[in-house]
Amino acid sequence: MDDEPAHKAPLPEIALGKVSSALRSAIEREFGDAANAPIIFEPPRRPEFGDYATNVAFRLARTTRRSPQSVASLLVDRMREQDLDHVLSSAEAVGGFINVRLAAACWQSNLAVVLQEGSKFGDAPANGTRVSLEFGSANPTGPLVIVQGRTLSIGQTLANAMRARGYEVTTEWIINDAGAQMDALGRSLYARYRQLQEPDFPLPAQGYPGEYLIPIAQRTCESDGDRWRTAPESEWLPHFKKVARDALVAEQQHVAERFRVHFDRWQSELELHESGRVVKDLQRLTDRGLTYVSDGALYFKATQFGDDKDRVVLRSDGRPTYYAPDIAYHYEKLQRSERVIDILGPDHHGYIGRLKGMADALGFPGALEVIIAQQITLLSGDESVAMSKRAGAIVTLADILDEVGVDAARFFFIMLAPESPLKFDLALAKEQSENNPVYYVQYGHARISSVFKNARVEDVQAASASPQLERLVEPSELTLMRRLSALPRTMQNVVDQFAPHRLTQYARDVASDFHQFYTECRILVDDEELRLARLALCLAARTVLARVLELMDVTAPESM
């Protein structure tokens, strides 16, 4: 390591670039024409193999007819002949891989950046890209259930990460308040209203038998009395549809806010119809020559855009299908956004192609992306609980929040990739032990906070001003510094791959690395320089952990 202060050493990404250049020079020297082999350094799965590793020797072995290990060993020898002491701690050939460790000063330099940027570490400047992000969007026919809990948690976390990385995000919910399901809802509420005086009044065969409509019926009876008991259906059905929709949407909005999910726009499907936008935007497709009439119905030529069949958008009697308002809604979003992202539930796989084809047909090819959040299973003991609005057997999202709290629910719902089915273990979510991942991460933050409670105020202040960080050379210190440096890359991976689950794993890794550092390195030592350096590392760890929890909308407690 050179004699410059740690904050003057190159940052890890710059140092790795110098190492890559040195390796490229070694390849050109030894293998000439094979020098175009790509060099990709990635963190190895096992930390004992170094900070980064590359498999470039395997690619070269195929063209040079030598073993990967012999190629790797030769390249490492050539790298050692170059001046890399200021950026490289070690380089080894292991099993054909080239494993490297950067100089400690590089990680110390990055730590100084964390301390300087504080809660903004990991953020990126505005990139000018507008994003429409729709998620949740449950039908307004009942309370939110755990399937919506998963899409809400995924969507809000993704929105948080995208905003932090420079995107201008508008979060949206479409209220599907048009069509036959709303008639069924209105008739179901009317039946509950009648049952208050006539217990044997039947529920509609295709209605919603859940008891959640009873309180709404009771309020309707209190406000309207017997007004609707003798009225014809043509009069009471519009009223009961609106009353049910308004009450259920208000409840969904309340639960979403309780779940720390905030929407910028709530779009009514009924309003799309009433405003004339549905018919107007269907005409846009017709003007493009992308519709035709068959048996009196209007078809969209969806097969021209990858769909498996053409889609009816207007029935022969002139009534729009469910696909027609989708066109109007997405056209409006596509006009005001460079990217449109829909997060849909597990029963919407068939929608991916038709939605993307719709965007192409409207003149926005490639602008629409669809994420499918797979099924979630709620475990009660060893048995899963069935959930159905129509069957009346419902476990609501509010029930889950009452049972395990918002923090655990937000964390557990995004622990796996959206495309992976998720089992939600209620017992584990309530457990106060290191087996519960959210408790483990929050305890990590609380443990760091306890360090500062025991430290002198003047030491904490000095630690925030980037003290002599070159004192941090112990293995657990370096491991923690390496982990903290990965926050920007992790956040970008979340955005690029639609992968909020990476934040949960990263938070657990940071907490684990801190616990290891806390166990192996005494922090409040007599040596002032070392004490301040370790307090600075604690401060950076707390900052990063709090930032990740904030992105997930999980609280960062000071004590537990």
* Of 299, 294, 290, the residue nearest 323 (C-alpha): 299
Average pLDDT over residues 34-46: 83
For residue 352, how many other CB atoms are within 10 A of its CB?
17
Q: How far is CA 399 from CA 145, 175, 260, in A?
A: 9, 22, 16
**Looking only at Cα atoms, what is the longest distance across the chain?**
96
Range with the poorest average pLDDT among 52-66, 109-123, 226-240, 391-405: 391-405
Q: Tokens 């990063």 map to which residue?
A: 544
pLDDT digits over 352-382, tens only? 888 999 999 999 999 999 999 999 988 875 6
Cβ atoms 60, 71 nearer than 8 A: yes
Residue 391 has a pLDDT of 46
Residue 381 has a pLDDT of 59
In the predicted structure, residue 36 carries a pLDDT above the cut 90: no
CA angle 299, 368, 347 (to 5 degrees): 70
Residue 389 has a pLDDT of 44
Three-class HEC string of 230-279: CCCHHHHHHHHHHHHHHHHHHHHHHHHHHCCCCCCEEEEHHHHHHCCHHH
pLDDT digits over 470-493, tens only? 999 999 999 999 999 999 999 999
pLDDT digits over 277-298, tens only? 999 999 999 999 999 999 999 9
- Token duo for residue 345: 């539930």
List domains and CATH numbers for the chain.
6-102 (3.30.1360.70), 108-122+433-551 (1.10.730.10), 180-245 (no CATH)
pLDDT digits over 114-152, tens only? 999 999 999 999 999 999 999 999 899 999 989 899 999
- Token duo for residue 99: 């494993």
Between 228 and 391, residue with greater pLDDT: 228
Residue 390 has a pLDDT of 44
In the predicted structure, residue 214 carries a pLDDT above the cut 90: yes
The overall average pLDDT reported for the chain is 93
For residue 503, how many other CB atoms are within 10 A of its CB?
27
Q: Tokens 């906070």 map to which residue?
A: 449
Whole-number Å distance between alpha carbons of 10 and 137: 47
Backbone angles phi, psi at 63, to 5 degrees: -90, -25
